[in-house]
A and B are shown apart, each in its own frame.
Chain A
Amino acid sequence: MTGNPENSTKVTRRGFIAGATGAGMLAAGAATLPARLTLAAAPGSKRLAVILLRGGFDGMTLLPPTGDADYVKRRGPLALPGPESIGGLTPIGTTFALHPAARALLPFWTQGQLAFVPSVAGPDRSRNHQTAQTYLESATSGDSPRTGWLNRALGAIDGTATESFANPPPLILRGLSQGTIDVVETETPVGPGFYEQVRTLYQGDGLFAPTLARGLRERGLRAEALGAAHAKHADGGADAVASLPVTAGRAGRGFAASDGDGANARIAVIECAGWDTHVNQGRLVGRLPSRIALLSEAISRLAANSGEAWKDTIVVVVSEFGRSVLPNATGGTDHGTGGLAILVGGAVIGGLKGEWPGLGDKDLLDGRDLRPTVDVRGVLKRVLQDHMKVPRKTLDTQVFPGSEAIPPLAGLVRD
């Protein structure tokens, strides 16, 4: 890889086995879990980045349907002012508006490189982080799937690369067959014991020590109240998002590196926790808007760093589920169903895709969630078929088994 060789490690298979212990420690002891990048090789010139927002992303904050007559009533205290009012939202079509925190995305919209699919979901309806994340990455039901759809799709491209050795690789890239994918992981900015180190620095400080203790307890308590498994999958700590721009920037540099450098990173998977906003998610400013700003910055960095390769790039941003349309009693939203998918890149046909289900009494799913209008597999199929040239039949049967009836969503990919 070019870019920052001292910060990233090119890992051979042997290297991965050796490195696995450290990663295990990170997973087990992680009070914080930074955004993680995995790069993989693939033939051809097309680049695909998948950003997995773990925790359930409230797309209705990034792209609020301020033009929907029921919006203000449904969202209550979380409703944003429409673009006609002060607040800085930009109209996106007649129904939607872009949150000012996502302003870094506007140039892509203007250039026709940004597509929003406002209500997608897979077949999973559990509203459970672990189940829904497993489905989103494996596209198979069953208790413990061993392979991810992106790996199966890569294997299908021309029969090369299908095994990745990240420690452990994200499920989406995991495979069974032998292959030669190079996987590059980025150095995480801080180690797993960061809070512990800070706690030592604060020892004996009458203000910082007790405040930190309460802060840790409140984050811990919040997780505990929702169940320990919940915390593990959803709340990686907000620094996951804080380091997202840097992580995405590295993915962009990976995409830009020419084959002459011996690098051919074509696939990037970025995992980023911190989107499970049950408490005080914020409206124009606050916890969620800050994170949306970082996500937007991350995408624009990826674009800037990928240089010429951007025209051959598609970035897909998805989360395991959307959040409840109705706010909860603690200033946040709960696990929902339909959610926002974002596609951006030089190879994307911009625009609003798929139908808006509406927010009327009869429109909502179970009286609380956005009703999905597009199957997430339809979005991914279109990208894999037109962009990565995976045959339709392989998509229907191997990549997304049993999905013959789900057509690829039209109008997403430039040829």
Chain B
Amino acid sequence: MPRPYPEEFTQNQRLAAIALGRFGLGARPGDSFTVAGDPQGWLLKQLTTNADRVPQFADLPSSSRLLRDLLEAKRRGGAALRTYRQEAGQRMEEEAALHESFAVRTNMPFQERLVRFWRNHFAISTQDPDVLPLVFAFEREVIRPNLNRRFYDMMLAAARHPAMLIQTGNTRSTGPLSPRGQRGRSHLDTRMAEVFLARIAFGPEGDFREKDVSALARIFTGWTIRSTDAQNASFHFDEDRHQPGKKYFLGRNYPEAGVLEGEAALDTLSRTPAVAEHIARELVRYFIMDDPAPGLVAELVDGYANSGGSLQALHHTLIRSQNAWRPQTLKVKTPADLVLSAYRASGAGTRGGAAVLSDLKFLNQAPAATDPPTGWSQHAADWLGPEALMNRLDWAVGLAARASELSGLTNPDAAVDLALDILGPHLRPQTYRRIAVARTYAEGLALLFASPEFQRR
């Protein structure tokens, strides 16, 4: 006999279900018991832990090493470049698998989701073959170390990272009046400025003008990459490409200051109220609701501004807000989060993450495979069409079969117990009853994965 449906749930059980599902990557068996002691504290603790000390990633190569190999292969061209591309694609898959397998196992799922939110915010994508080798190095070097620091720190690290510089073509951007430009090699590329203004800082509808884009592009001229020695290549400020003279950006004059102009411009952005509002709104959209409630966004903006632009404070305010803990589950899980939560719930084997990757491709959300520079949409309407839902159901059946095979469980009662453990108060009585009359454990599990309460958070 399965556990009966509880007559009532405690307040802490309710909060634990929200902490695990809405803010985390979904419960693993037993998690709800552990977290129910102090759901909010469990989340807050993850905000004070460093995100960049992941032992599983310790041996992965740095971007300066990867960049050196890329530049070398491009220099040699021909067959050497082809071989490099093959190997880079393979390595990227392996790194992606490692990151997914880590996400299935992590004890700090809230921190992991924040990492994923910010990685997606900067929208570094595998679509560009020259960026592909660097995508996960970007996460490790830009996002993880700066997760608890200021937004300015993260933006600066991003703007100096080879993945960003290559993806936006800024490595070749040259001011018309720069020494190189004067020699007739002028090439002003505005893409990095557009990404920073239209996606990272303000959003596409933001309060900035075309001339701000072009000013920021001039400020960013000379931000490029260079081989430093035989093994390494990294950020380099190239005076030869940098546009001299003062620049007028967002209503303010920036005197000529070389690389410091860009740092000052990013500092200004991080202190601009409309920018705070944009990142607060995107964060609420990611965790809570597709159409962010203005009150909750305002709370986050205050938390961010009062701390001098700290991301840790921004994240902290979200967890502290009553409005983020409302019982209604308004977000549909993205394909990626759905897959991760099902692996965490069922203990299905990930084959070192390869099985997770293959499932993500099945549901059309391979890691970082977006069209740059937009990143994955956080609107359910963009990825829950009829065909996508049918694919979710097909996937649910396949994963349920694999999980059942691995566990050796056949009795549907075990699926009922698991559903109660994983979803707790979110499990509706009608879903409980459906799973209870399933033919097999696999069928019960497939119904759990398909249920609206598992698909939402």
Which residues of A does B touch, CB under 8 Å?
4, 6-7, 32, 34, 83-88, 90, 100-101, 103, 187, 189-191, 194-195, 197-198, 200-202, 205, 207-208, 211-212, 214-219, 237-239, 241-243, 245-246, 249, 280, 285-286, 289-290, 293-294, 297
Whether a CB of chain A sits under 8 angstroms from the CB of B4 is no
A211 B362 Cβ-Cβ under 8 A: no
Nearest CB to that of B431 among chain A residues?
A: A201
A-B contact pairs, 10 of them (CB 8 A): A86-B89, A88-B90, A189-B443, A189-B446, A194-B393, A211-B384, A238-B394, A243-B397, A285-B364, A290-B362
Q: Tell me, yes or no, whether B366 is within 8 Å of chain A by CB.
A: yes
Chain A to chain B: the 7 pairs with minimum beta-carbon distance, closest first? A242-B398, A215-B386, A86-B129, A189-B401, A214-B386, A239-B397, A238-B394
Check A101 against B361 for contact (C-beta < 8 Å): yes
Q: Could you tell me if A246 and B402 are in contact, using CB atoms closer than 8 angstroms?
A: yes
A90, A246, A294: which has the most chain B beta carbons within 10 Å? A246
A274 to chain B: closest residue by CB:
B394
Q: Whole-angstrom distance from the CB of A107 to the nearest CB of chain B?
A: 13
**What's the nearest-Cβ distance from chain B to residue A142, in Å?**
36
> B358 contacts A297, CB within 8 Å?
yes
20 additional contacts (CB under 8 A) given A207-B384, A242-B401: A7-B404, A7-B405, A32-B397, A86-B89, A100-B89, A103-B93, A190-B442, A191-B439, A194-B393, A195-B393, A197-B447, A201-B430, A201-B451, A211-B386, A211-B389, A215-B389, A215-B390, A242-B398, A243-B397, A246-B401
B184 close to A (CB within 8 Å): no
Residue of A nearest to B88 (CB): A86
Contact A207:B361 (CB < 8 A) given known A190-B442, A191-B439, A246-B402: no
In the bound complex, residues from chain B placing their C-beta under 8 Å from that of A293 are: 358, 361-362
Within 8 Å CB of B443, what residues of A? 189-191, 194
Q: Are B387 and A194 in contact (CB under 8 A)?
A: no
Please, how many angstroms separate the alpha-carbon atoms of A219 and B447 in the complex? 20
Q: Mark B400-411, 1 if CB is under 8 A from A, else 0.
A: 111011001010
Instruction: Please judge, given known A-B contacts A214-B386, A294-B398, whether A285 and B332 are in contact too, CB under 8 Å.
Output: no
> Is B86 within 8 A of A83, CB to CB?
yes
Whether a CB of chain A sits under 8 angstroms from the CB of B132 is: yes
If over half of B's interface residues share one DSSP class (helix, strand or loop), that class is named, otherwise mixed; here it is: helix
B361 touches A200 (CB 8 A): no
Q: How far, in angstroms, from A297 to B359 measured CA to CA in the complex?
A: 12
Cα-based distance from A285 to B335 in the complex (angstroms)? 15
Q: Which residues of A contact B391 (CB under 8 A)?
A: 238
Closest to B443 in A: A190
Q: What CA separation (Å) do A197 and B400 show in the bound complex?
A: 15
Residues of A contacting B: mostly: helix
Q: Which residues of B contact A (CB under 8 A)?
A: 82, 85-86, 89-90, 93, 129, 132, 332, 358, 361-362, 364, 366, 369, 380, 384-387, 389-391, 393-395, 397-402, 404-405, 408, 410, 430-431, 434, 439-440, 442-443, 446-447, 450-452, 455
Q: Which residues of B contact A246 (CB under 8 A)?
A: 398, 401-402, 405
Query: Smallest CB-CB separation from A213: which chain B residue?
Result: B386
Are A190 and B361 closer than 8 Å at their CB atoms?
no
Task: Find the A residue at minimum CB distance from B126.
Answer: A86
Bound together, the chains give a CA A32 to CA B395 distance in angstroms of: 13
Question: Among A32, A84, A242, A294, which residue has the most Cβ atoms of chain B within 10 A?
Answer: A242
Complex: how many Å from CA A341 to CA B385? Answer: 35
Bound Cα distance A90, B90 (Å): 10
Asked if B395 contacts A242 (CB within 8 A), the reply is yes
Asked whether A201 lies within 8 Å of B452 as measured between CB atoms, the reply is yes
Interface centre among B332, B366, B430, B443 (most CB of A within 10 A): B443
Known: A198-B450, A208-B452, A293-B362. A6 touches B398 (CB 8 A): no
Separation of A297 and B397 alpha carbons in the complex (Å): 16
A239 touches B89 (CB 8 A): no
**Chain B residues in 8 Å Cβ range of A6:** 408, 410
Complex Cα–Cα for A237 and B395 (A): 11
Select B364's contact among A217, A219, A286, beta carbons within 8 Å.
A286
Name the one of B369, B387, B447 contacting A201, with C-beta atoms under 8 angstroms. Answer: B447
A218-B387 contact, Cβ under 8 Å, with A88-B89, A208-B452? yes
**Known contacts A201-B434, A286-B364, A289-B361; A212 and B86 CB within 8 A of each other:** no
Q: Report the bound CA distance from A246 to B401 in whole Å.
A: 7
Contact A189 B400 (CB under 8 A): yes
Complex-state Cα separation, A100 to B361, whole angstroms: 12
The chain B residue sitting closest to A214, CB to CB, is B386
In the bound complex, how far is the Cα of B405 from the Cα of A194, in angstroms? 19
Q: Point out the residues of chain A lying under 8 angstroms from B366, CB to CB.
A: 285
In the complex, chain B residues whose CB is within 8 Å of the CB of A215: 386-387, 389-390
Is there an interface contact between A189 and B364, defined as CB atoms closer than 8 Å?
no
Assess whether B129 is in contact with A249, with CB atoms less than 8 Å apart. Answer: no
Closest A residue by C-beta to B130? A86
Q: Which residue of B lies closest to A210 (CB)?
A: B386
Check if B450 sits within 8 Å of A201, measured CB to CB: yes
- A218 touching B386 by the CB < 8 A rule? yes
Which residues of A lie under 8 Å from residue B395 when comparing CB positions?
242
Q: Assess whether A194 is in contact with B446, with CB atoms less than 8 Å apart.
A: yes
Residue with the greatest number of chain B CB neighbours at <10 A, chosen from A191, A211, A212, A297: A211
Cβ A243 vs Cβ B401 within 8 A: yes
Q: Are B380 and A189 in contact (CB under 8 A)?
A: no
A32, B410: Cα distance in complex, Å: 21
Bound complex: CA A249 to CA B401 (Å) = 12
Given contacts A218-B387, A289-B361, whether A189 and B404 have CB atoms under 8 Å apart is yes
Most buried by A among B82, B129, B369: B82
Q: Which of B386, B393, B397, B408 contacts A4 (CB 8 A)?
A: B408
What are the residues of chain A within 8 A of B389 when measuring CB–CB? Answer: 208, 211-212, 215
**A249 contact set on B, CB distance < 8 A:** 405
CB-based contact B390/A219 at 8 Å:
yes
Assess whether A190 is in contact with B431, with CB atoms less than 8 Å apart: no
Residues of B within 8 A of A194 (CB): 393, 397, 443, 446
- Bound-complex Cα distance A215 to B442 (A): 23
Known: A86-B89, A198-B450, A207-B380. A242 touches B386 (CB 8 A): no
Complex contact A243–B434 (CB within 8 A): no
Query: What is the minimal beta-carbon distance from B356 to any residue of chain A, in angstroms?
Result: 12
Q: B434–A197 contact, CB under 8 A?
A: yes
Could you tell me the distance between the alpha carbons of A207 and B290 in the complex, rounded to whole angstroms?
Answer: 13
Inter-subunit contact A237/B446 (CB<8 Å):
no
Q: Which of A4, A208, A217, A218 has the most CB of B within 10 A?
A: A208
Contact of A198 among B362, B405, B447 (CB under 8 A): B447
A190 touching B405, Cβ below 8 Å: no
* Minimum C-beta distance from A270 to chain B (A): 14
The one of B129, B358, B364, B452 in contact with A202, judged by C-beta atoms closer than 8 angstroms, is B452
Which residue on chain A has the smallest CB distance to residue B90? A88
- Report the bound CA distance from A191 to B401 in whole Å: 12
* A83 neighbours in B (Cβ, 8 Å): 82, 86
Contact A239 B386 (CB under 8 A): no
B446 and A90 within 8 A (CB)? no
Closest chain A residue to B391, Cβ basis: A238
Q: Which residues of chain A are within 8 angstroms of B450 by Cβ–Cβ distance?
A: 198, 201
**Cross-chain contact B398 with A243 (CB below 8 angstroms):** yes
Residues in A with CB closer than 8 Å to B362 are: 242, 290, 293-294
Which of A6, A103, A198 has the largest number of chain B CB atoms within 10 A?
Answer: A198
Q: CA separation between A213 and B215, bound complex, in Å?
A: 51
A201 to B89, CA, bound (A): 41
B405 touching A86, Cβ below 8 Å = no
CB-CB under 8 A from B387, the residues of chain A are 215, 218, 280
